[in-house]
Amino acid sequence: MKKFAFAALLASTAASAQVPAPAIVVSGDAMPRIMAKAAADQAATPTPNQHEAIISAPPYTLSLERRVGKAPAALHPAHAELLIVLDGAGTLTTGGTLVNPGPPAGTNIPGSDVSGGTPQHIGKGDFILVPENTPHIIAPEGGVLQVASMLIPHAPQPAGARGGVPKLITHAADLPTMIEKAKAAVPASARFFGGDTLLSLGSIRVGLEYRSPKGIASVHKNDGELMYVITGAGNIPSGGTVTNPKDTGANIDGDDMVGAKDNLMKAGDFIFVPKGLPHKAVSDGEFVLATLHVQ
């Protein structure tokens, strides 16, 4: 009897240890508070680029960057960097050579500037990927530039690897056409949403998803998922148990979920769904997401 009780205790402990963390939701309504904190911290300790955490899901952090001047240049040897411009405009220069490189600091090699890089204008609503091992620097244009950023572990793809031609920027002006294309694809989609590619770089893909009233309940066995609501509103319930589950390899898909928590989402909201957590995304109207899977 004692052996049975001990075995039951071990099984219970193991089961509880495997329970995935809950979803992390940060409403767009919270962003003014985060931005205000960044402004206050920047005023107290002047710096051209003030960071504040938006979502912390180790080893990943989605940060707000409040840029008020041409920041020191950077190069991330083993990480690509996702940038979503939340407000303002600026010039992003990538490539070339890092000027006066300093000693490595964590995931970053700092520099004073970039020489011989390619400048491009970025503005509110733009999505950008800066590849690993690429010098880059950002200078605001006409005031404050506020960007959501996240470093993504990544290695250069070997010659001949699958993944296609990299897509490193999608401008806000491109989104309406992409959204209409994704909407038109919904009726023929086996997964009940239409999609397109916002950004791609080897194994990294940021997708655009136009969600419908009927979604698939899904568990990603190996990936967490970051989602950002580009436009519209909907529900991303999370947790509970998937009904009628089917193992598809990378996912466990089902018809619905029992015991899930509703997460009512709107434009400007972020959500991170940890690996192993059931979830789906549905809406009776327009509901367009940017999605990124991370391991």
Closest listed residue to residue 208, CA positions, set 161, 250, 174: 174
DSSP 8-class letter at 132: T
Contact indicator for 66, 49 with CB cutoff of 8 Å: yes
What domain range is 289 assigned to?
A: 172-294
CB 240 within 8 A of CB 219: no
- 173 contact partners, CB below 8 Å, separation of at least 6: none
* Nearest in space to 278 (alpha carbons), one of 262, 264, 260: 260
- Paired strand residues for 289: 209, 229
Is residue 193 domain-resident? yes
| Maximal CA-CA distance, the chain | 74
Question: Cβ neighbours of residue 229 under 8 Å, at least 6 residues apart?
Answer: 28, 265, 266, 267, 268, 269, 270, 287, 288, 289
Tell whether 32 and 149 lie within a shared domain: yes
**Cα–Cα distance between 79 and 201 in angstroms, integer?**
12
Q: CATH no. for residue 270? A: 2.60.120.10
Binning the chain into helix, strand and coil, the percentages to the nearest 5 are 15, 45, 35
Grouped pLDDT means (10 residues each) for the chain, 295 residues: 37 49 96 97 97 97 97 95 98 98 94 97 98 97 96 79 82 98 94 95 96 94 97 97 94 95 98 97 96 96
Asked whether residue 162 is assigned to any structural domain, the reply reads: no
Q: Are residues 193 and 115 in the same domain?
A: no
Q: Are residues 200 and 120 in the same domain?
A: no
pTM for the model stands at 0.91
| Coil vs helix vs strand at 144 | coil
CA angle 63, 66, 69 (to 5 degrees): 135
Domain count, the chain: 2
pLDDT computed for residue 191 by the predictor: 86
CA 217 to chain centroid: 20
- Quick one: 53 and 144 in the same domain? yes
Say what the pLDDT of residue 164 is.
76
